[in-house]
Amino acid sequence: MRDKADERLDHLFAAVRAERIDTAALEEYFETRLLARIREQRSESIPWYALAWRMVPAFAVVAATIAITTFTFAPTHSNDLLAALNADQDEMVSSSYLIGE
């Protein structure tokens, strides 16, 4: 149900709607100011954190390459004690040999 407060509110809305806000002075040279700001933004150097963020895919590729290389060229386990010693796996293989694995 509409009351006096509603009527007052509608009166205020109508008065504000009827009044044309004059923005003509601000609109002058707006394009010039806007384009100057866009050019300024373009010329600003990229901050280091933005650069680091953009480098994330490159870092991911490097990490993946290291992981693949590590698994691909990892030294294989050998049961031959002499061969293992020659291949610098002495500690691992000798411990396996001593505990009977």
Q: Least distance to another protein from the beta carbon of 69, Å? A: 39
Regarding 43 and contact with another protein (CB under 8 A), the answer is no
| Integer Cα distance of 52 and 83 in angstroms | 46
Q: Using CB under 8 A, which of the segments 8-16, 50-58, 61-69, 84-92 binds another protein? A: 8-16
| Integer Cα distance of 81 and 97 in angstroms | 8
Residue 9 structure tokens: 């509110």
H-type helices in 19-76, by residue range? Answer: 24-27, 30-43, 48-54, 56-72
Site for another protein in 60-99 (CB under 8 A): none
Provide the binding-site residues for another protein, judged by CB under 8 A: 5-6, 8-9, 11-13, 15-19, 21, 23, 26-27, 30-31, 33-35, 37-38, 41
